[in-house]
Amino acid sequence: MSTELNQLAEQVARRRTFAIISHPDAGKTTLTEKLLLFSGAIQQAGTVKGKKTGKFATSDWMEIEKQRGISVASSVMQFEYREHTVNLLDTPGHQDFSEDTYRVLTAVDSALMVIDAAKGVEDQTIKLLNVCRLRSTPIVTFMNKYDREVRDSLELLDEVENILKIRCAPVTWPIGMGKTFRGVYSLLSDEVILFEPGSEKLLTDVEVIQGIDNPRLDELFPLEMEQLRMEIELVKGASNEFDLQAFLDGTLTPVFFGSAINNFGVREILDALINWAPAPSERDATVRSVHPDETPFSGFVFKIQANMDPKHRDRIAFLRVCSGRFERGMKIKHLRLNRDIAASSVVTFMAHARETVEEAFAGDIIGIPNHGNIQIGDSFSEGEALAYTGIPFFAPELFRTVRIKNPLKLKQLHKGLQQLGEEGAVQVFKPHSGGDLILGAVGVLQFEVVASRLAAEYGVDAVFDSTSIWSARWVSCADRKKLEEFESALVGQMSTDAGGNLAFLATSRVNLNLTQERWPDIVFHETREHA
C-alpha cells in the first residue's frame, strides 16, 4: 500500500499542467509549436497551425476556423520534458470564445502569458489575467518578438506591473532588439545566450558565454557592451528579485524575453515551468478537499468538444484528473447521473494525435467519448460524491431568437441546441411563455459556429433574429414559495437554460434594477457555477 502511495506521489510530482494565455497574434500558436518541437514531441514546424501552408491540425478542427484562420477550440497536448509529463492546454485567443478559455483555466495549475513586446499589455491579456487571479494561478511571462523593433523593456515591465497588478521579476534580459538583437542575459546564472535567427535552432546550436564581464562579449559587440552592463546594473537594482513563494501565490511573475518564431528563449520557459511551476495540488470538491495523491480516482469535465477528428464523429468530454490513478477499463461513477461508466475507450492527447489511455494521474487530461450524457462541470470518481467546483458560466451579453426554415426539422433543432448548450458552445434559454428558443452568447462568432454546426451535424437551417433581451440573470431564493411567486408574476421574462436552471431575461439595465428592487428576496446571479 505504501509503495503504491509513493508511486502516486511520484507521478503527481512530475506533472505540470499549464495553459498559454495571450491577446490574439501575440504568438501563442508559434510558441506552442516551439515548445512541442523543443521537447521532441513533434518533428516538423507547421504541425500545430499552418495558416499559409494550408495544413491544419489540432487546434483547427472546425471548418469555420479554417475559413477565418482563428483557433476556436482549445486543444490539449501532452509531452515529456526532463523526466516530467507536461500537459499543455491551448486556449482560443479570440475574445468571442472567452468563456471556453475561462473554463480551461480552471483545469490548469499555472499559466504562461505571452506578450507581443511591440504592443505591450492588450485587452484580452487583461481579461485573462483577471481570471487567473480568481484562483491565484502562478504566471510565467514571455515577452515575444524581440527580433523586431519592440518597446523599451523597462517600460514593458512597468506596464505589466501597473495594468495587470502583478510584480515582475526579470529572469533574463534582452540585449538589443530587431536587427541588433544579440541575445539574452540570464540574471540568475550570469550567462549570455547568443541569438541566432532560425526557426529550427535547438539548444546545441546556441552559443552561451559565461559572465557579463567576459572579454569575449567585448570582442563580439565592442560598441554595445558598456551600455548593456550599465543597463543590467540598473535592472538588477530597480526590479524585483525572483521569489518562488510569491510566484506560487500568484503575486509575482518571472519574466523571460525572446522570439518564439526563432525558437529563442523557449528552453528557459520550459525550464522555469519544470523548476518552479506547481505540480497538481489539492482541490475543493464541496464536501472536502481532495489531495492529488489519494488513491481513489476523481476528476471533473471542463470542456466538451465535437468533431475533433473527422474520422471520429463524436463528442469528447475533457476531464482533468484530480486524484488517484486512472486505468483503462476501470469503472468510474458519473456523479450527477449516479451511474457507472466503463471507461474503456478513453483517450489521451499526445502532442497532436489521440491515443488510448492506459493510465493517467492528477494533472493529466483524458478524453471521454460522450453521447450526450456528460455536461461541462460533471464530476467523476470511484464512488465518493465529490463535486468539483469553480467551472463558470457567464451571463450572456448577446441574444438571438432562433427559428427554422423547415418546420419538420423542429426536433433536430431542439436536439442540436440542447447538445450545443450542454457543450457550452452557446447558452440556450427556453422561454416559459412558449415561443422560439433564445440563444445567448458572449461573442457574436459563437452564433456563427452554432449556425454552421446545426447545418453540418443536425441538418438544420436555422435563422437567427435579434431580440429585445439585454441580459440574463440566473435566479435563486432561499424561500421556495417566493421564487414561485416571482416566476408566475414575471412569466413573460422567465426561462430555463440547457442545464435546467431558472433564468430571468431582462430587457434593459433599468428593467433589471427595478425588478431587483421589487423582489429583494430573489438573488440575481451574473455567473453560475455548474452544480
Binding residues for GTP: 22-29, 90-94, 144-147
Which parts are annotated binding residues?
22-29, 90-94, 144-147
DSSP state of 306: E
The nearer residue to ligand G4P, 149 or 213, going by C-beta atoms, is 149
The nearer residue to ligand G4P, 150 or 277, going by C-beta atoms, is 150
- Residues 62 and 424: their CA atoms lie apart, in Å, by 16
Smallest separation, CB 167 to ligand G4P (Å): 24
Smallest separation, CB 92 to ligand G4P (Å): 10
Smallest separation, CB 426 to ligand G4P (Å): 23
How many helices (H) and strands (E) in the chain?
A: 14, 35
Smallest separation, CB 181 to ligand G4P (Å): 10
Smallest separation, CB 87 to ligand G4P (Å): 19
Please choose, from the candidates 196, 197, 174, 38, the residue with its C-alpha nearest in 3D space to the C-alpha of residue 118.
174
Smallest separation, CB 258 to ligand G4P (Å): 7
How many residues in the chain? 531
The nearer residue to ligand G4P, 65 or 109, going by C-beta atoms, is 65
SS3 267: helix
The nearer residue to ligand G4P, 64 or 248, going by C-beta atoms, is 64
- Residues 376 and 424: their CA atoms lie apart, in Å, by 7
Is the Cβ–Cβ distance between 526 and 516 less than 8 Å? no
Q: What are phi and psi of 178, to 5 degrees?
A: 55, -130
The nearer residue to ligand G4P, 259 or 419, going by C-beta atoms, is 259
Q: What are phi and psi of 11, to 5 degrees?
A: -65, -40
The nearer residue to ligand G4P, 95 or 389, going by C-beta atoms, is 95
DSSP state of 436: S
SS3 77: strand
The nearer residue to ligand G4P, 184 or 395, going by C-beta atoms, is 184
Smallest separation, CB 136 to ligand G4P (Å): 24
Please choose, from the candidates 168, 337, 317, 180, the residue with its C-alpha nearest in 3D space to the C-alpha of residue 247.
168
Smallest separation, CB 490 to ligand G4P (Å): 43
Is the Cβ–Cβ distance between 194 and 172 less than 8 Å? no
- Residues 93 and 225: their CA atoms lie apart, in Å, by 38
- Residues 14 and 353: their CA atoms lie apart, in Å, by 22
- Residues 517 and 511: their CA atoms lie apart, in Å, by 10
- Residues 107 and 364: their CA atoms lie apart, in Å, by 10
Residue numbers at the binding site for ligand G4P (CB under 6 A): 22, 24-30, 51-52, 93, 144-145, 147-148, 259-261
Neighbours of 496 (CB within 10 A): 14
Please choose, from the candidates 232, 247, 367, the residue with its C-alpha nearest in 3D space to the C-alpha of residue 299.
367
The nearer residue to ligand G4P, 148 or 415, going by C-beta atoms, is 148
SS3 270: helix
